[in-house]
């Protein structure tokens, strides 16, 4: 009897031990080698990933392949996009495996991908998850903080950006890694450049160059180029040209050479070496991006205007406008595409959650049926001998059913909480969209004011030509949903001059600027507003408030 008891206890202990051991999946050695080589040679590793026959991958290897694909997509710009639900499979797999290292890497890679698509809420969420799994991996924590700082930089939240970069600098100092310290100082210098604090930016760049290892030529080239930008902004043109030449000597890529040539062109433009500036601006212009082409064409237009070659200046200005329009169209199309992709992803997630819930309910029904059949069979066999035991088991069964009902209610509550969270996320996206509209409004004012200031004569008075009025009206229509057309349809009695005046009011120009535009006193501007208000028969509000709401 004792031997039998000992055997049963041993079997139970071994069963518990085998169940308590975490399930560890082993991955294909070739996939593990690709994981190691991705950080060193991402392009070559991407080609090897593309060559893999995914139909031959099974189970854990296929999920690991999805993880490698996401990581490669975050490291290379030309990687094909992976459907987002594949990354969800990888996250679920590594969560079950309790593989915090790969969970951290996967969340970080997803954060970089989302940031590249301007989905900053998702990017921040992924970075926060990556930081949660990073633990004491200081190198990964450094990359996460730099990634978060880039998001805040794009959103012009410079205080939050500086906080992240200071944390990254502390991590680099803790690692005592001169390359990472130099990188953090460079990012802080970029922040100071954005704030136009060029003196502080120059000091940080000089310190970064002093501690950066000599063999890191690419980073040295980048830092020297940014020092050239700082010197150009502070009118130290000889130093700026020297730093640009040093950057060209250390740089290796064609894109970097083009950037340096544009920088040198700006320096020559400040030096009034117009021929040299034009030669550098036009060098390899066909290989520039639309944004760079727009900037180059605009500067050549200004250069031609300074040479009194107005015909060429107009041609280059038209090219600059065409590039700007193409760039805006591309950005709009990309934004719409990303929004559609994320909406489709959310629909898929809801569909998956619904299917999982249905499967759980079916499994629950099967379990209930199995329990019921077992109880019936057991009662049929032992109804005479074990009545008390049968009653106890029925009670246990009822308790299990109540527990299942509680679990089902909890599942429903979790679904409702998830729905409220998704609703909150959508509201946050709408708020972000409104903020972007305000930023676009500011850029429109920044574009229009230089047009007005350009029209000043030597006495400071402004004389706007028809073409400049047309530009102002076109900008107003583009920003405010065909404002002038709607105004003319509603108030056909308005003259062209009154419509132009309404455009300036729509952009909230000050009384002083309006008086300079029309060469009249501020009081006359107020009377001009009153006359327009009476003509439009506006009551119970001011003309300015009416134009804002129109």
Instruction: Count CA atoms within 13 Å of residue 145 on its CB side.
Output: 23
Give whichever of 13-22, 389-398, 442-451 has the largest mean pLDDT: 389-398
Q: Is 135 helix (H, G, I), strand (E, B) or coil?
A: coil
| pLDDT given for residue 351 in this prediction | 72
Confidence of residue 532 (pLDDT cuts 50, 70, 90): very high
Q: Distances in Å between the alpha carbon of 346 and those of 154, 320, 414? A: 25, 39, 17
The answer on pLDDT for 531 being more than 90 is yes
The answer on pLDDT for 330 being more than 80 is no
Separation of alpha carbons 281 and 279, rounded Å: 6
Separation of alpha carbons 434 and 429, rounded Å: 9
Point out the least confidently predicted range of 77-91, 331-345, 361-375, 516-530.
Answer: 331-345
| pLDDT given for residue 246 in this prediction | 86
| pLDDT given for residue 84 in this prediction | 57
Q: Is 462 helix (H, G, I), strand (E, B) or coil?
A: strand
The answer on pLDDT for 362 being more than 90 is no
| pLDDT given for residue 23 in this prediction | 41
For the segment 51-56, the average pLDDT, to the nearest whole number, is 79
Separation of alpha carbons 550 and 106, rounded Å: 48
pTM: 0.53
Separation of alpha carbons 93 and 97, rounded Å: 6
> In the numeric block, which tokens belong to residue 40?
């060193």
Point out the least confidently predicted range of 186-195, 345-354, 509-518.
Answer: 345-354
Separation of alpha carbons 452 and 468, rounded Å: 8
More confident residue, 57 or 470: 470
Confidence of residue 511 (pLDDT cuts 50, 70, 90): confident
Give the pLDDT confidence of 281-317 residue by residue, as tens digits.
777 676 666 777 777 777 777 777 777 777 877 877 8
| pLDDT given for residue 495 in this prediction | 93
| pLDDT given for residue 484 in this prediction | 92
> In the numeric block, which tokens belong to residue 386?
């074990």
Q: Is 456 helix (H, G, I), strand (E, B) or coil?
A: strand
| pLDDT given for residue 20 in this prediction | 41
What lies within 8 Å, CB to CB, of 535 at 6+ separation is 491, 493, 494, 498
User: Are the C-beta atoms of 187 and 201 separated by less than 8 Å?
Assistant: no
The answer on pLDDT for 530 being more than 90 is yes
Point out the least confidently predicted range of 274-288, 421-435, 499-513.
Answer: 421-435
C-alpha torsion sign, points 302, 307, 310, 314: negative
DSSP single-letter state for residue 22: P
Q: Which of 128, 134, 132 has the alpha carbon at shortest distance from 148?
A: 128
| pLDDT given for residue 299 in this prediction | 75
Give the pLDDT confidence of 229-280 residue by residue, as tens digits.
889 888 888 888 888 888 888 766 777 887 888 888 888 878 878 777 777 7
C-alpha torsion sign, points 381, 387, 389, 391: positive
User: Are the C-beta atoms of 204 and 188 separated by less than 8 Å?
Assistant: yes
For the segment 105-114, the average pLDDT, to the nearest whole number, is 87
User: Are the C-beta atoms of 446 and 501 separated by less than 8 Å?
Assistant: no
Instruction: Count CA atoms within 13 Å of residue 488 on its CB side.
Output: 11
Q: Distances in Å between the alpha carbon of 454 and those of 138, 449, 457? A: 52, 9, 8
> What burial letters (b/e) apply to 137-153, b meaning 16+ CB within 10 Å?
bbebbbbbbbbbbbbbb
Q: Which of 443, 447, 439, 464 has the alpha carbon at shortest distance from 516?
A: 464
| pLDDT given for residue 30 in this prediction | 82
Q: Is 21 helix (H, G, I), strand (E, B) or coil?
A: coil
CA distance between the termini of the chain: 94
For the segment 84-95, the average pLDDT, to the nearest whole number, is 79
The answer on pLDDT for 442 being more than 90 is no
What lies within 8 Å, CB to CB, of 248 at 6+ separation is 221, 257, 260, 261
The answer on pLDDT for 22 being more than 50 is no
Separation of alpha carbons 466 and 488, rounded Å: 18
The answer on pLDDT for 4 being more than 90 is no
| pLDDT given for residue 460 in this prediction | 47
Confidence of residue 157 (pLDDT cuts 50, 70, 90): confident
Confidence of residue 325 (pLDDT cuts 50, 70, 90): confident
Give the pLDDT confidence of 472-495 residue by residue, as tens digits.
889 888 888 899 999 999 999 999
Q: Determine how many CB atoms are found less than 10 A away from the CB of residue 411.
A: 14
| pLDDT given for residue 135 in this prediction | 85
Mean pLDDT, the chain, rounded, equals 79
| pLDDT given for residue 124 in this prediction | 86
Q: Which of 412, 405, 377, 375 has the alpha carbon at shortest distance from 391?
A: 375
The answer on pLDDT for 454 being more than 70 is no
The answer on pLDDT for 2 being more than 50 is yes
Confidence of residue 510 (pLDDT cuts 50, 70, 90): confident
Confidence of residue 24 (pLDDT cuts 50, 70, 90): very low
The answer on pLDDT for 336 being more than 60 is yes
């Amino acid at each position: 009897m004792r031997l039998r008891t000992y055997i049963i206890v041993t079997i139970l202990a071994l069963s518990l031990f085998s169940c308590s051991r975490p399930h560890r999946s082993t991955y294909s050695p070739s996939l593990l080698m690709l994981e190691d080589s991705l950080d060193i040679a991402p392009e070559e590793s991407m080609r090897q990933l593309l060559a893999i026959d995914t139909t031959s991958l099974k189970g854990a290897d296929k999920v690991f392949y999805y993880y490698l694909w996401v990581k490669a997509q975050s490291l290379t710009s030309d990687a094909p996009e992976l459907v987002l639900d594949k990354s969800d499979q990888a996250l679920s797999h590594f969560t079950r495996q309790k593989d915090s290292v790969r969970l951290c890497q996967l969340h970080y890679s997803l954060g970089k991908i989302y940031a590249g698509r301007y989905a900053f809420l998702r990017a921040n969420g992924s970075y926060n998850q990556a930081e949660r799994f990073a633990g004491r991996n200081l190198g990964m924590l450094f990359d996460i903080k730099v990634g978060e700082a880039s998001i805040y930089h794009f959103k012009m939240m410079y205080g939050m950006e500086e906080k992240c970069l200071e944390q990254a600098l502390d991590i680099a100092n803790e690692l005592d890694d001169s390359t990472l310290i130099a990188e953090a100082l460079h990012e802080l210098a970029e922040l100071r450049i954005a704030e136009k604090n060029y003196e502080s930016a120059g000091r940080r760049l000089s310190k970064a160059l002093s501690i950066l290892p000599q063999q890191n030529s690419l980073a040295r080239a980048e830092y020297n180029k940014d020092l050239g930008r700082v010197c150009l902004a502070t009118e130290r043109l000889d130093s700026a040209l020297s730093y640009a030449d040093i950057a060209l000597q250390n740089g290796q890529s064609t894109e970097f050479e083009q950037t340096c040539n544009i920088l040198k062109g700006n320096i020559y433009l400040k030096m009034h070496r117009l021929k040299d500036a034009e030669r550098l601006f036009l060098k390899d212009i066909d290989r520039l991006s639309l944004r760079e082409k727009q900037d180059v064409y605009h500067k050549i237009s200004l250069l031609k205007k300074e040479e009194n070659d107005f015909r060429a200046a107009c041609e280059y200005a038209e090219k600059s406008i065409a590039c700007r329009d193409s760039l805006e169209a591309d950005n709009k199309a990309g934004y719409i595409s990303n929004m559609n992709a994320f909406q489709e992803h959310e629909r898929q997630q809801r569909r998956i959650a619904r299917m999982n819930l249905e499967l759980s309910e079916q499994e629950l029904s099967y379990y209930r049926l199995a329990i019921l059949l077992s109880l019936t069979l057991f009662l049929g066999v032992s109804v005479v001998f074990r009545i008390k035991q049968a009653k106890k088991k029925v009670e246990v069964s009822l308790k299990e059913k109540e527990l299942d009902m509680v679990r089902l209610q909890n599942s429903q509550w979790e679904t409702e909480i998830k729905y409220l969270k998704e609703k909150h996320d959508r509201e946050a996206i709408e708020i972000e969209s409104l903020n972007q509209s305000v930023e676009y409004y500011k850029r429109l004012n920044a574009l229009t004011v230089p047009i007005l200031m350009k029209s000043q004569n030597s006495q400071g008075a402004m004389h706007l030509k028809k073409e400049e009025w047309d530009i102002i009206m076109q900008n107003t229509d583009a920003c405010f949903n065909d404002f002038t057309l709607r105004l003319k349809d509603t108030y056909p009695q308005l003259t062209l001059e009154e419509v132009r005046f309404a455009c300036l009011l729509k952009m909230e120009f000050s009384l002083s600027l309006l008086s300079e535009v029309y060469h009249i006193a501020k009081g006359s501007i107020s009377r001009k507003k009153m006359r327009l208000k009476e003509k439009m028969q506006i009551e119970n509000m001011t003309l300015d408030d009416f134009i804002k709401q129109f």
